[in-house]
Amino acid sequence: MHCIGGFAVTLHYGRMRPTGDIDVWHVIPSGAAPWLTKIAGEGTELHRKHRVHVQVSAVATVPEDYESRLVEVFAGEFKMLRILVLDPYDLALSKLEGNAEIDIEDVKHLARALNFDLDVLAGRYRNELRPFLTGPERDLAFVEQVINVRRREQATPLACFRRTGCGPRSRSASATT
């Protein structure tokens, strides 16, 4: 199973947030997707018991060469199941079309927690994703927003925010006194 979405962000990349489903982009063999949905989909006994269900996504936009960068989780734990998640850059880019607030926060988490190489993110967007998007101008703005947020964070040492007397809040507070 190639997993995307909040499940991948929380399970493998450490974001602490609730999710009630396991978004699966690709199931091998492909004929297993209906079977998987039947035994682990929404409303099944497994869903009721564990309060999480598998949702096979029919539509998702992922970078062209994502399969070569999949990361296996729980390697060797299951006899007949391999769970793979997108690498963090591909996962971030897969969230472009959703563009919901939770998706934006997931991408920010990935960028911060994994110290994104912004050139890698921009290159994958430009070379492997943008040619396949229907609204590239909006999506480019989202990618640029993530890149700009990350660059500002890199320029401001984290220690500065832990001290008083530096950062945007302290400057505005001192300007008013």
Q: Give the pLDDT score at 136.
A: 54
Q: For 155-170, what is each residue's pLDDT tens digit?
A: 654 443 333 333 333 3
Could you tell me the residue ranges of all domains in the chain?
2-161
Cα-only R_g, the chain: 19
Q: For 134-149, what is each residue's pLDDT tens digit?
A: 665 555 666 677 667 6
Q: Which of 86-123 are b and which e, b meaning 16 or more Cβ less than 10 Å from the residue's Cβ?
A: bbbbbbbbbbbbeeeeebbebbbbbbeeeebebeebbe
Q: Give the pLDDT score at 25.
A: 87
pTM: 0.76
Question: Mean pLDDT for the chain?
Answer: 80
pLDDT level of residue 153 (50, 70, 90 thresholds): low
